[in-house]
Structure 1
Amino acid sequence: MRKKILAIMMMAVMAVSMTACGSKGDNSSSNEKSEPKVTDTASKSDFKVSMVTDTGGVNDQSFNQSSWEGLQNLKEKTGAQISYLESTQETDYTSNLDKQVDEGNKLVWGIGFAMANAILEAAEMNDEVNYAIVDNAYEEVPENVTCVTFNAQDSSFLVGYVAGLTTKTDSVGFVGGISSAIIDQFEFGYRAGVAHAAKELGKDIKVEVQYADSFSDSAKGKAIAKSMYSNGCDIVFHAAGGVGIGVIEAAEEEKQFVIGVDSDQSVLSPDYVLTSALKRVDVAVEDISEKCMNGEEIGGKVFNYGLTDGGVGIPAENKNMDPEVYKKTMALQDEITAGKIVPPYNKDTFDAFNQ
C-alpha cells in the first residue's frame, strides 16, 4: 500500500490531528494558494484537504470554482490547509489524484462525475486516504469514498418556470455540456418548468436543445447560443461549465437573456443574466470537509443536497426579473419543497410528468 510504512511512522507525531478520514503526512502542497491569516487550533490547521478539477478548470465560473470557494471558506473558518490541481484533459485525473495523495492530504475531492472512475481506482489503491466526489453516487460506495449529489432538477424547474413566464417569443433554449445523467437533471427539469409555465399561461412554448460535447469550449457555446437567438429564442439556459461563458457572451452581443448555472452568474453580465439555477457545491464541499475534519464518519455514504438545506435554488436578487415572476416562482418552490410537485430528472420522468 502506497506510503503505508511512512504513515505508520508518523502516527505518533500526528495523533493530535488524526481524524476518521486518515492521513499520509503534512507536507505543504506546491499548489496551495495564498489565503487569509488563520488563528485556529493546531489540530485544525494541520488538516489538509485538496481538490482536483475536471477539464473546466478552477476559474470556470461554475462548479469547479464554487468547489474551490467552499475550500477557501473552510480555510478562513478553521485554518485548514487547502490546495487544488487543474486537469486540462481527462488523462490528468489519475496523476493529479496521485499527486494530492503524495502531498499528505487527509481528504481529496474529485470535482465532477467525469472523475468517477479515477476516484474509484485511487480509493482502491489508497485505502488509508479519504476521497469525495461531486455529482456521482456509486451503486456500492467504498468505505473511504464520500459521494455528494444535488437535486439540480429542482432549481432547473424553477428557472424553466421563470423563462416560460418571461419569454416574449414563446421560444427558449437549453445548452448542455456533455450528455449524462447529471446534465439530464438540468435539461428535463428546465423543460418541465417551461411546460408548467406554458400550461399556466394557456399557450405553447418551444424549447430548443443542443449539446456542445464539451465543458470547456466557450467558443462552441457562443456559436450554439447565437444560432438559438437567431432562430427566435429570447432566453437560453446553459448547464455546460466553461462552455456557458460563451453562451453568456452571445447573450450580451445579441442583447437577449441568458440563465446562469451553479453560481449566481449575474456578475458576468449584469444586464442580461435573467437568473441562475444555483447548485451550491461550495456549501457541500465546506460541509463535508468540516465533517471529515471533526472526525465524523463520512466514508461509504451519499450526501444529497436540495431546496430544504439550501443546496439548490435561485438567487434572492434578480434585477432583470419581473418581481411578480419572482413571487410566483417562490410560491412554486414551496410546492416543490412540500412534495406537491416533483420535478423530473430524466426523459422517462419528464414524459410521465407531462401526461
Structure 2
Amino acid sequence: MRSVKGTALVIASMVALAACGSSGGDGEKSGAQSSGKPRIKLVINGGLGDKSFFDSAYAGLKKAQKDLGYELKVVELGSDRTKWEPGFEDAAAADDYDILAAGTFDVTDYIGKLAPEYPDKKFWVFDAPVDYTGKNGTCSNKCENVYSVTFKQNEAGYLAGFLAEELVAAKSLKGTENLSKVGVIGGVKIPVIDDFIVGFKAGFKDAGGKKSDVLVQYVGGDKPFGDPAKGKEISTAMYGQGAALVWPVAGLSGLGTFESAVAEKRYTFGVDSDQYQTLADDAQKNTVVTSILKNVGNALYKAAQEDQSDALKYGAVDSVGLKDDAVGYVADDHFEELVPEKIRTALEKAADEVKSGSVTVPSAF
C-alpha cells in the first residue's frame, strides 16, 4: 500500500513545513487579507507543531487555500484548558470567517452550543461528532450548519498491530531479535484513543501474537497530549520491559517516544502523519518503521472541495476509513528497507481484507 501518494504526499510535505514554521503556542496565523473568497478559520485547542494530528489538519487546509482559493486563518488556544471555551466563543463571535473548523472530542460541546448562535456560519468538526440529537443540551438547531467527520482509527490500529507482530515474530528489526513485546501509549483513556488500541490488539492477535505481549499505558495528567517528558518516561519503561517498538498515540507527548527509541536503540511507529518526514532529527527519524495514518488533512481538503460544489452534507456525520484512504500506513523506501517483502505482502493482504469487509475490526465505540 502506497499511502503517501498524490494528495497525501503533498499534504505530508506540507505537514513538515507546518511543523517547522509553528510556534506551537497561543496566537494566530493569518492567510491572505479578506478579498471576498470563502474564509476558513481553524481553531486549535492546543497548538501546531505536534508533527501529526493538528499539523495534518493545517496542511490540508493550506492545500485548500492554495488549490481552491480559500482564505485561511489559524487560532491556537494553547494547552491551558481554561482558555478553550472563551477562546472558541471569541473565535465564533468574530466576523472574520465563513467556516470555523475544529477537532477532537474536547470541542464538540463548544461547537454544539455555538453553531445555533451563528446560523449563517458553517462549522466543521473533525475526529468527533457533535450531538445532533440535542439530548446533551447542545445543538438546539440540530446542528444543521455543522459537518462532522470521524475516522475508523480502529482499522488503522489493526494494521499497526498486525505489522508489529509480524516484525517481532520474524525477528526482522536489528537489535531486537530476542524481544517479543510491543507497546502502545495513549494520551488519555477515551473512546477515540481506545479505538486505536482495540484495533491494534486485534491485528496483533490475528497475526499470531499473544495478548500479554502488548503493553498499554496512558499519559494522563493535565497535558495528556502535550507532555513529551512523560511520553519519554513511559516509552523508556516499555523498552525496559522488553518492547521492540512503541507506538505513541498521544500527540505532542509522543515526541518523547522518538527520543527514547534513539537512546534505547529500539523502534517506533509514527501516528496521524508521516513522522519520518516531519521529525527533524535524523536519528529519531530512523527509528520510525512506518507511520499509521489518520489523514485528517485529506478529509478537510475533501470537505473544502465538496463545500465549494454544495455537495457537503451538513447536519450529519461522515465516517471514513481504510477504503476511503482516510486511514492507512506509509510504505516508502525507508519502510521497504526495514520490512521484509514477505511481511509487506501479508500486510497488504490484511489491508485488503479489512477494505473488503471479510475482516471486521472491533471498535471501542
Structure 2 residue identity aligned to 1:327: T
Structure 1 residue identity aligned to 2:67: K
Q: 1:114 — aligned with what?
A: 106
Q: How does 1:24-35 map to 2 (within 5 A)?
A: 31-33=28-30
8 Å contact kept, 1:273–1:320: no
Q: How does 1:76-155 map to 2 (within 5 A)?
A: 76-88=66-78, 89-101=80-92, 102-140=94-132, 142-155=143-156
Deviations 1:83-124 (A, max 9, x none): 111122223323333343314211101121111111111113
Name the CA distance, whole Å, in 2 between partners of 1:51 and 1:206.
40
Q: 2:160 — aligned with what?
A: 159
Structure 2 residue identity aligned to 1:144: N
Change (3 A) 1:82 1:204: closer
Q: 2:7 — aligned with what?
A: none
Structure 2 residue identity aligned to 1:211: Y
Q: 1:50 — aligned with what?
A: 41
Q: 2:14 — aligned with what?
A: none
Q: 2:311 — aligned with what?
A: 296
Name the CA distance, whole Å, in 1 between partners of 2:296 and 2:341.
27
8 Å contact kept, 1:271–1:320: no
Name the CA distance, whole Å, in 1 between partners of 2:347 and 2:292.
12
Structure 2 residue identity aligned to 1:86: E
Structure 1 residue identity aligned to 2:117: M
Is the counterpart of residue 311 in structure 1 residue 303 in structure 2?
A: no
Q: 2:135 — aligned with what?
A: none
8 Å contact kept, 1:146–1:298: yes
Name the CA distance, whole Å, in 1 between partners of 2:229 and 2:318.
35
Is the counterpart of residue 68 in structure 1 residue 58 in structure 2?
A: yes
Secondary structure (helix, strand or coil) at the match of 2:248 reads: strand
8 Å contact kept, 1:161–1:329: yes
Is the counterpart of residue 342 in structure 1 residue 360 in structure 2?
A: yes
Name the CA distance, whole Å, in 1 between partners of 2:88 and 2:256.
29
Count of residue pairs the alignment pairs up: 307
Structure 2 residue identity aligned to 1:150: F
8 Å contact kept, 1:288–1:298: no
Aligned CA RMSD, in angstroms, stands at 2.0
Deviations 1:296-355 (A, max 9, x none): 353101111111121000012114222321111001100111111111112xx9xxxxxx
Structure 2 residue identity aligned to 1:122: L
Q: CA deviation at 1:288?
A: 1.1
Q: 1:5 — aligned with what?
A: none
Q: CA deviation at 1:205?
A: 5.7
Structure 1 residue identity aligned to 2:292: A
8 Å contact kept, 2:112–2:130: no
Deviations 1:22-72 (A, max 9, x none): xxxxxxxx934467x9xxxx76xx1100111122x1111111110000110
Name the CA distance, whole Å, in 2 between partners of 1:297 and 1:281.
16
Name the CA distance, whole Å, in 1 between partners of 2:211 and 2:219.
26
8 Å contact kept, 2:181–2:215: yes
Name the CA distance, whole Å, in 2 between partners of 1:31 and 1:86.
6
2:198 to 188, 205, 226: 188
Structure 2 residue identity aligned to 1:210: Q
Output the TM-score relative to the length of structure 2: 0.79
Name the CA distance, whole Å, in 2 between partners of 1:96 and 1:79.
27
Q: 2:215 — aligned with what?
A: 208
Name the CA distance, whole Å, in 2 between partners of 1:325 and 1:266.
20
Output the TM-score relative to the length of structure 1: 0.82
Name the CA distance, whole Å, in 2 between partners of 1:31 and 1:299.
27
Name the CA distance, whole Å, in 2 between partners of 1:179 and 1:52.
24
Q: 2:11 — aligned with what?
A: none
Change (3 A) 1:103 1:334: same
